[in-house]
Amino acid sequence: MSIDPVKFFASIQAHISRQSPVAEFRPHQQSFETLLGTATTGDLSAQAVPREENGLTRAENLQLLQGLFDSNQEASVDSLSLLLRMNASRIETPSTVSQKLDMYASAAQETQPSLLTSTKNSRGQIDKLIDGVAQEVGLAPELIRSVVRTESNFNPSAVSRVGAQGLMQLMPATAQDLKVTDSFDPQQNLLGGSRYLKQLLDKYEGDLDHALAAYNWGQGNVDRKGLGQMPQETRDYLVKVRQELTKQTA
């Protein structure tokens, strides 16, 4: 709790000027109670004051205010000076308030889950996006899920050692060709990757092995070398996608 020293001193001075040193406050018990109430309650909504500190502050102010209303004018002046110094030391500067706000904001960030993680990138939301993309592109949602599981394990932030990004692991050049501006956005990545997979299936007349090999190894390699020269990584990739597809359709 803090008291505005300027306003408080002005009110005391005005009161003293109207009364004699001996009887200045005793006939005006109501004024004392009003002033005491103002000093000991205050607006605490904007301050994080611990309960025990608040109680101690009220006790200190009560004692000092009683001294102010003593018949001894010298004692009143000394008490007033002490009260003003005490409350001035408790006045929070803008920098102090800013530091407290930063502290509370940091604590909130540590305790609150990320909205992006809990909603947009959750497995349930990704599954809904896959269903919508599958209908728009004309692919089985089970195939898209199998590719996503094999490529990124449903991690929208995944990045491979060669720079492929997002759920369906789009290379930057491929994403640009597909008009994907943000490969880490689940909706854009799923739509771009599914369209690319559909193009490959159409090119290879529905041959899933050729389409998947081209998706993983590149169309140029498949066209020039054929499936017989696939690297082991691509062979393992085809096996994993087919195993996932079997689980999805079982």
Give the separation between CA 208 and CA 185, rounded to whole angstroms: 26
Residue 183 gets which letter from DSSP? T
Q: What is the pLDDT of residue 104?
A: 45
Domain boundaries in the chain? 5-111, 118-249
> Token pair for residue 134?
């599958």
List beta partners, residue 159. Answer: 165
Catalytically annotated residue among 53, 74, 151, 233: 151
CATH topology classification for 118-249: Lysozyme (1.10.530)
Identify the three-state secondary structure at position 49. Answer: coil
- The residues near 39 (Cβ < 8 Å, ≥ 6 apart) are 3, 8, 61, 65
Residue 120 gets which letter from DSSP? I
Give the separation between CA 234 and CA 217, rounded to whole angstroms: 6
Backbone angles phi, psi at 178, to 5 degrees: -90, 5
| Angle, helix 51-68 to helix 29-40, in steps of 10 degrees | 150
| Angle, helix 123-137 to helix 186-203, in steps of 10 degrees | 40
Q: What is the pLDDT of residue 121?
A: 85
Instruction: Pick the closest to residue 211 from 165, 146, 160 (CA basis).
Output: 146
> Token pair for residue 148?
């996503």
> Token pair for residue 237?
């990739």
* Tens digit of pLDDT at every position of the chain (250 positions): 555 555 555 555 555 455 544 444 444 444 545 544 554 454 444 444 445 455 555 555 555 555 544 445 454 445 555 544 545 444 445 555 555 555 544 444 443 444 444 456 899 999 999 999 999 999 999 999 999 999 999 999 999 999 999 999 999 999 999 999 999 999 999 999 999 999 999 999 999 999 999 999 999 999 999 999 999 999 999 999 999 999 988 8
Give the separation between CA 97 and CA 145, rounded to whole angstroms: 50
The question of whether 151 is a catalytic residue gets the answer yes
Instruction: Pick the closest to residue 138 from 210, 199, 207, 204 (CA basis).
Output: 199
Give the separation between CA 168 and CA 174, rounded to whole angstroms: 11
State the CB neighbour count (10 A cutoff) for residue 219: 16
Q: What is the pLDDT of residue 232?
A: 98
Identify the three-state secondary structure at position 165. Answer: strand
